[in-house]
Amino acid sequence: MTAAVLIAAPASGQGKTTLACALARRHARAGARVRAFKCGPDFLDPQWLALASGAPVHGLDLWINGEADCAQRLVHAAAEVDLVVIEGVMGLHDGEPSAADLALRFGVPVLAVVDASAMAGTLAAVAHGLQTWRPGLPWAGVMANRVAGARHAQMLQQAVGERMPWCGALMRDDGFTLPSRHLGLAGAAELPDALDRLDRAADALAATPLGSRPLADWPQWQPPTAEPAAALPLLLAGRRISVARDAAFAFIYAANLDTLRNMGADLRFFSPLAGDALPDCDAVWLPGGYPELHAVRLAERTDLREQLAAHLAAGRPVWAECGGMMALADTLVDGNGSAHALWGLLPGTAVLGKRLAALGPHAWAPQGPQAAPGQTLRGHSFHWSRFDTPLVPWQRTRPARGTAAGDGEPIYRYGALKASWFHPWFASAPALAAQLFLPD
């Protein structure tokens, strides 16, 4: 049997990632087999969870993945590990579907972490509301975060009393704070002391009731039943796909790489920031990331620009996703208003804004010759930038709900190049994902 917990909170910024990573690190360091998941679409939190657990981290979203895919991933993990840690998204009951929906569907106990830095007795009221808002929600308890000291922790514990399990308090400590920027946390690979931060968080957790409890004493979780995943058609057999991967192009789902490999692709990674040449390949994937933070270095890569231009001139496909699209623009205007001449392979100017430009789940069901009956590629959009271009969109995504701005995200086609703000989850429609890397 396997222990499992879903780390949730009343809102974003409460400390979900810190607690989830501390829990995964504390038990992985002790020799337990741990798998972590992230609820909802996210590229940055999974980097920290992977570092903490020592294993790849996949997303779980009942709409983007679909219920069957989520169940398969959980069943596969439960068969191999001692502890499953799922980090929630936003507040426990936020979103459609929410983290609470996931916990209810798969019977995963919820552990609430609450930033208690400016409260005392109200902690109990907040935790009680989180627990009881949805009848039948499996519950593991509450943990206070950013606590001022022992006396503050005692007040919080007394307020909770016997209402629910008290899992302890994490003190305010810059030593294990995970730094943030626009789009979310800083990438784990960017900080030389990333693992030290997680070790300090794990040490702090070990002194709490939650952290000191052996996994053998945890309630055992009954994973869902799921049909085995069907074998994917080898639509990319023999295809060499070069994937940019570094701090400028870091937004890559591990599950997307698995999907490409399971369709037969030979993946070849390269780092534009490190000066790598474009590997010999049949297709290129430029994922999202932070090109705006590395615009000077990317602008210097005129050699890579020429290699990509030759690749496209030969009719070989390129899929450029969000930040990857920005790197291909004529010009990139960074957060300071400085303009950088980028690779100039997609007409237009990418401009980093001062606030969120788009956020939400999207689906793409291609029209025309690209259509695949019954196939819809699901994913999400999350960006601060805009793209000013004379190009007319070739296709558009469709917002999953009516809350997303406009008519969905544009998908541009320029010769053998396709580009969009849209971040697809390849496993939702593998045949459509394969088309991004096949010649038209």
Q: Which residues are catalytic?
A: 322
Contact between 73 and 106 under an 8 Å Cβ cutoff? The reply is no
List the end-to-end C-alpha distance of the chain, in Å, as a whole number: 48
Where b means 16+ CB within 10 Å and e means fewer, 181-217 reads: ebbebbbbeebeebeebbbbbbbbbbebebbeeeeee
- Which residues neighbour 432 within 8 Å (Cβ) at sequence distance 6 or greater? 364, 366, 372, 375, 376, 377, 424
Verify cis geometry, omega within 30 degrees of 0, for the bond prior to 430.
Answer: no
Would you give the DSSP letter of residue 288?
A: B
Q: Phi/psi of residue 347, each to 5°?
A: -60, 130
Contact between 412 and 391 under an 8 Å Cβ cutoff? The reply is yes
Would you give the DSSP letter of residue 232?
A: P
Number of CB atoms found within 10 A of residue 96's CB? 11
| 90 closest CA partner among 307, 429, 367, 359 | 359
How many residues are listed for the chain in this entry?
440
Kindly list the distances between the CA atom of residue 153 and the CA atoms of 142, 168, 209, 210, in Å, as whole numbers in the listed order. Answer: 12, 8, 13, 14
Cα separation, 5 vs 100, in Å, equals: 12
Contact between 361 and 378 under an 8 Å Cβ cutoff? The reply is yes
| 286 closest CA partner among 238, 247, 315, 327 | 327
